[in-house]
Chains A and B, each alone.
Chain A
Amino acid sequence: MNGATATADYDDAGLLARLRSNDEAAFDELVDLATPRLLSLARKMMPSEADAEDAVQDAFLNAFKNLPGFDGRSKLTTWLHQITVNACLMKLRSRRRRPETSIDSLLPEYLPDGHQKKPQKRWHEIAEGGIEKAEMCELVRSRISELPEQYRVVLVLRDVEGLDTEETAAVLEVTLDTVRTRLHRARQALKALLDPYFAGDTP
């Protein structure tokens, strides 16, 4: 159609039609176009690069198998995101050893009159936090990995991948309210996990 350089936008009807007619080149094209974004998503969900690549490969094999049943009502990008998220979740679940901690203990507690039980301490400015940026990112990543999966996945899709509420709901097949509730709880829980490092006297 256009001679411009390839973009991550592969949602055009032409490609889908060619995939449906088993056009070999179309499959290769889809892999080339879609893999970078799907891999970037998987890297945020999986503990290692090898796991992320495995999940993307699983996702594609699933997608190829299910393509005949893809009704085209959702966008191809949304559909592939969905399959990739599921591939990651499957892998994570198969190896989980200990039960996840409940998120409730990380949410704020209130007095009967609705005030916070423990006043929130002021966070210092991130830049003057006293720890190196790489170290800080590593710390935040490891705290994110402690969040229960259903919350972590919403945080990744909304706050990191930049999907909106509707897109996230479509990928996870949950309601808009569920996405909003989980995102809010995930952020609150992550804040609680980071409080010891960014609030109070620790430099």
Chain B
Amino acid sequence: MKYKAITAIAALLALPMSAQAGPDDDKLVINGEIEMVTKTAAPAHLQDAMDEVMSGWHFRSDETQAMEADDFDNPGMVFVEKALGAWETAEGSEGKSCADCHGAVEDMAGVKATYPKWNEEAGGVRTLQMQMNACRTERMGAEAWKYDAGAAIEMEAMLSSVSRGMPVNVAIDGPAQATWEKGKELYYTRTGQLDLSCASCHEENYGNMIRADHLSQGQINGFPTYRLKNAKLNGVHSRFKGCIRDTRAETYSPGSDEFVALELYVTSRGNGLSVEGPSVRN
């Protein structure tokens, strides 16, 4: 048998199917006023791999998409409200609230778009949750919040909500570069007995159906995401963990160095897309 020729035939057969699927061309405007960039030219570092980056929003059903367009329909906004209370509540031995030092939540607009970010004093890259916990433990005398859980994810959702519509813009050069390179390596490493990398699904196959799931680019501009599947806010690291587990691999833990690096790298793949969290996904 001539396997080469058959490969070509198989490839041809695959084409008509993938052409039907793919992301839609809808436009996302939140509350009738925040115009979201959900598709844009890929950042320079990614242009060998793809021309355009797209929010996961484009790959979801019309009903799921509609929930995100209005804060009254977005179940994630309940948690943002909760975090607003926490923002103003004094905690810890110093008797300070976030608001005491940072003022109104709106003053934090733009912060989410730059995280994960290099922190000189800490000598490392910090995710937003790590930064929040640094404020709690070092400035408030309060306990660190558990990674990706309850209060931490709610506060992250709130800080994200005030940055919605602003372009994701994380720095990947300078002192952050080594972490970014490590994240990139993790992204392209095939893991587990299924031997799949993030790229196997989210770069080579976005737009295709994998069983009942419409594969997106696995972007994280929309995090935290409210998932209809588990009816709660989901953090980036928890999502990474689930995807790695599904390759039949040993996962990393939320908050681990590996996931911090991967978060920086994956965020940078969406540089230019609007900050969208809390988004709604299935």
Query: Do they bind each other?
Result: no
